[in-house]
Chains A and B, each alone.
Chain A
Amino acid sequence: DVKVTQSSRYLVKRTGEKVFLECVQDMDHENMFWYRQDPGLGLRLIYFSYDVKMKEKGDIPEGYSVSREKKERFSLILESASTNQTSMYLCAIPAGTGYPLSNQPQHFGDGTRLSIL
């Protein structure tokens, strides 16, 4: 079974804090994704990584950075948290076998509900 583990289900932080959200996968996949989900706006891609130390911006990268030092771990960093970053954050990987990778369904973690006060 594919496992995508997000370190926290719920997190409460203060404005201005540096916040780290962690995602770990057990499938040895090159590709990992970070999304945020907001009511009325749906899921939007923040960043994705296609290999260790490689990253690309998604649709809404402003205010975020990412780190991929090891293949199994992809971290999302809020450099200086603001109240408009209160959201549900979801990590995903392609989760099948074979190629092309783009034809594999994405498998999601359970999400981290982040509140910035």
Chain B
Amino acid sequence: KQEVTQIPAALSVPEGENLVLNCSFTDSAIYNLQWFRQDPGKGLTSLLLIQSSQREQTSGRLNASLDKSSGRSTLYIAASQPGDSATYLCAVCGAGSYQLTFGKGTKLSVIP
């Protein structure tokens, strides 16, 4: 059974810093890996999707990488801003399925 782990569970950084969030998964047979953002009391917002054949995806200040063979992904946030404060969730879509398996998230606080 697929398991997804996110480290650290919480992170606090000063504004302007670059930071990396980590995600690992146990079964490398995946279609894709997705990163989401969740603000308190709200639903999830899709940030980036990396297909299994890709190594990375970029959107603005966000860059996500995927190393399928080692079961790891990172989300890099450049020049962090207070508006980036949220919980970031990683999820993998298993091969042959539409089902997402989620990590428990990293709660990010960017201090002005």
Binding site for B on A (CB under 8 A): 4, 31, 33, 40-45, 48, 50, 58, 90, 92, 94-95, 100-111, 113
Contacts and interface: CB of A to CB of B under 8 A. Distances in A.
A94 B42 CA distance: 18
Nearest to B46: A105
A109 B100 contact: no
B38 to A, nearest CB: 9
A33 B98 CA distance: 9
B31 A103 contact: yes
Interface residues of B, number: 23
Nearest to A102: B31
B34 A108 contact: no
B65 interface: no
Contacts, number: 61
A110 B43 contact: yes
Contact of B99 (A45, A101, A110): A45
A113 B42 CA distance: 10
B31 A42 contact: no
Interface string B80-97: 000000000101010001
Given A102-B32, A102-B93, A105-B34, A45 B100 contact: yes
B43 A106 contact: no
Contact of A41 (B32, B36, B45, B104): B104
11 contacts: A42-B102, A43-B91, A43-B100, A43-B102, A48-B99, A90-B44, A100-B31, A102-B31, A103-B32, A103-B51, A111-B41
A114 B31 CA distance: 32
B55 to A, nearest CB: 15
B103 interface: yes
Contact of A106 (B41, B46, B97): B46
A109 B43 contact: yes
Given A94-B98, A102-B97, A103-B31, A108 B104 contact: no
A58 B99 contact: yes
Contacts of B44: 43, 90, 92, 106, 108
A40 to B, nearest CB: 7
